């Protein structure tokens, strides 16, 4: 397969806030590249973003001279393109994305105090009614639900970030449309309908749609018109469809959902 890039090519690396910064491919080796960006060199970066045309290269007439002032070397370890974007965004002060580990907690664990603004509900075989949340967690802003059965989609309007993963019950996404979400992650939902509402969700800054292989390219192309959307990962099955979408988009990779949790509930400082 002919690769859509070569050493010396330049591209705009998205930073996740709607801006980008110039980057240059210094070397290529077996589906990894070394890139110069800002005042760093990132080595051993996977070429997946280049293959998918998320990073769109330009062939220079004259190769640029000179080297960055400082090198960030990962000892030739493989580095994913999403991680590379986060490193650069953190380095340039866009957001602090070098995240500490987040303790995974369960709804049934009393460590979630009533004033919590982040909550994670997980556990196969559990049935949960989102209408309980407004009463028990009035300040809730960030919510993860994984592997549970939901009796409704009546989540509190205080939510700003929502992750639904492997939900066992059918979901009509149109029932979520009233939520003023900035971040939405939908992962491997076997019984999801009403996906057309996503193309009219003007508050979204970040969107993940993983495992939506039932959709066609025409179903997701209107996402390109969302005014606030700057970070997205859209998997509608088949590299050809995904590439055609990314060719037209200027999205960065999504920031980790952990970032939203830590943003509203920073870890306590020791000492």
pLDDT digit string (tens) for the chain, length 271 residues: 678 899 999 999 999 999 999 999 999 998 999 999 999 999 999 999 999 999 999 876 544 444 444 555 545 578 999 999 999 999 999 998 877 665 555 444 446 788 889 998 887 778 889 999 988 999 999 999 999 999 999 999 999 999 999 998 999 999 999 999 999 999 999 889 999 999 999 999 999 999 999 899 999 999 999 999 999 999 998 888 999 999 999 999 999 998 888 888 776 544 3
The segment(s) of the chain belonging to CATH 3.80.10 are 118-264
Coil, helix or strand at residue 70: coil
Q: Which residue has the tokens 């994913």?
A: 80
User: Where are any strands of DSSP class E within the chain?
Assistant: 10-14, 20-28, 32-37, 40-46, 118-122, 127-128, 142-146, 149-150, 161-165, 171-172, 183-187, 192-193, 206-210, 231-234
DSSP per-residue codes, 136-153 = H-TT--EEEEES-EES--
N- to C-terminal Cα separation, the chain: 55
Pairing of strands 127-128, 32-37: unpaired
**Which CATH fold topology does 118-264 show?**
3.80.10
Q: Report the pLDDT value the prediction gives residue 239, as an integer from 0 to 100.
A: 82
Burial of 21 (0-12, 13-18, 19+ CB in 10 A): middle
Q: Report the pLDDT value the prediction gives residue 116, as an integer from 0 to 100.
A: 87
Q: Report the pLDDT value the prediction gives residue 30, as an integer from 0 to 100.
A: 86
Q: Which two tokens stand for residue 64?
A: 């640029």
Length of the chain: 271
pTM for this entry = 0.89
CA-wise closest residue to 72 among 86, 58, 52: 86
């Amino acid at each position: 397969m002919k690769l859509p890039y070569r050493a010396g090519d330049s591209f705009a690396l998205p930073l996740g806030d709607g801006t980008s910064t110039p980057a240059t491919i210094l070397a290529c080796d077996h589906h990894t590249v070394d890139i110069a960006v800002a005042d760093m060199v990132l080595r051993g970066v996977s070429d997946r973003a280049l293959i998918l045309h998320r990073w769109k290269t330009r062939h220079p007439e004259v190769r640029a001279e000179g080297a960055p002032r400082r090198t960030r070397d990962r000892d030739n370890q493989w580095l994913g393109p999403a991680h590379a974007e986060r490193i650069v965004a953190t380095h340039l002060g866009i957001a602090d994305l070098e995240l500490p580990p987040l303790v995974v907690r369960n709804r049934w664990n009393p460590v979630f105090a009533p004033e919590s603004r982040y909550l994670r509900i997980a556990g196969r075989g559990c049935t949960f009614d989102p209408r309980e949340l407004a009463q028990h967690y009035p300040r809730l802003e960030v919510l993860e639900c994984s592997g549970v059965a939901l009796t409704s989609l009546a989540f509190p309007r205080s939510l700003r970030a929502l992750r639904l993963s492997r939900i066992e019950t059918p979901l009509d996404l149109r029932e979520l449309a009233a939520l003023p979400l900035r971040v939405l992650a939908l992962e491997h939902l076997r019984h999801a309908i009403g996906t057309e509402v996503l193309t009219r969700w003007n508050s979204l800054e970040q969107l993940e749609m993983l495992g939506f292989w039932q959709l066609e390219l025409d179903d997701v192309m209107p996402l390109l018109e969302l005014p606030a959307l700057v970070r997205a990962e859209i998997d509608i099955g088949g590299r050809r469809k995904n590439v055609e979408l990314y060719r037209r988009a200027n999205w960065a990779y999504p920031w980790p959902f952990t970032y939203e949790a830590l943003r509203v509930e920073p870890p306590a400082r020791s000492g």
